[in-house]
Chains A and B, each alone.
Chain A
Amino acid sequence: MKKKKKWYDYLWIWTILYFALGFFNILFAWLGMIDFLLPLGFAVFGGNKWFCNHLCGRGQLCMKLGGDLKCSRNRPTPSWMYSKWFRYGFLIFFLAMFGNMLFQTWLVGSGAANLREAIKLFWTLRVPWGWTYTPGMVPDWAAQFSFGFYSLMLTSLLIGLIVMALFKPRTWCTFCPMGTMTQGICKLRHRSHAD
């Protein structure tokens, strides 16, 4: 029995589009804030993970590539990867890197640092990305945020694709910082039902 497809079953296209747009104009990186704020909104106000379960374009893309296109080895995910220690540890690391990105944005905004037209992959590898931005289009801090945020989004996508190829299509979901955070919020909201 095939399930009838809904509009949100095609959101994997949005993920491809998002990264493609950032390749031409880095300011489109701001659109990624939707993927940050919506899951939190659903968890805080709705007490659910509806975003992860239905709207996550990244998860759908991994299912498409790893499942439909068979780009995944479909091996069991190592248990440490979905252990609480790793999940919450990765969440803390991710939030620290997000904070660092905001700090860099503030430094540029206050004039203490210059705009760096590059993205950083895996928080270490600097990749020139200057063709995607014409200086003066927006305040420097807004451009710096775009470069920093796109770096974060691209890095997490690459990690997701690597673990998708090595393990199961949606292995990324086991330690996705947004998923960990929203599940934590939901468990707090429904703690009377939780173990």
Chain B
Amino acid sequence: MTTERVRDTRQSLARPMTEPDRRATSATRRLIGTELRLLLRDPLTLTFVVAFPVVTMLVIGGSFGTTPEKAFSGQNPAHWYVASYVTVVIGATGLVMLPVHLASYRERGVLRRFAVAGFPRWSFALAQLTVGLMAIAVSCALLLAVAAPVYGLPGVHDPVRVALGMVAGSVAFVSLGVLLGTVLPSARAAQAVGLLLLFPSFLLGVGGPPPAALGTVLRTLSGYLPLAVVTSSVREPWLGLGNGTGALLASTSMAVVALLLAAHRTKL
């Protein structure tokens, strides 16, 4: 008896993961692999996340020339927009791509099928989080690859803060996307709500006119829009306009809250 008990204790110490944990991990890995493969086969979704920021960046970036201007805090307007548009990718992924994808799965009963097959609910949310972050990384790389030969890439003054701003903003918006996808009743509703949330944020303080060109009310409002806050946390340390500490703290807080809410909704 004593020997057996000792053996049991050793086994439990040597095996921190239980069998259901291991099965769930393996299921999550299979799910992430499948979701990434399916994303590559979905040209329309990829077009929106990749092409929309690239095309609008090319149009807006070329509209104000490349001469530094006061309205752009003394920066080259094209560079201002290159540094801004990486967060448009974050917004498009979190506010449109993920909610529509998740709501469509819910609407068609795909999530029920995964649930009855023993996939933990959180495993699907985790897969979406991974897919969203990877979509953002790939789209941002593509955006910069297109911007480089056209407008040139602005030098990064504070790479660490830029990276922190990108990570916090991505986690915030991808979590928000998962949350919206679990709350909204249909893919159509998710698309309507997603676009409604994306475009005001996009136009005010991110990809639209520079804040200096906005009236007082709109400028004040743009300072509180979540995507604009994420943009400040990236653009300021990137272009050397400031350290963006306040915006970074706000982005991080949003990331924590959105992640907790998404986790709660998906019973993480």
Query: Do A and B come from the same complex?
Result: no
Interface residues of A (CB under 8 A from B): none
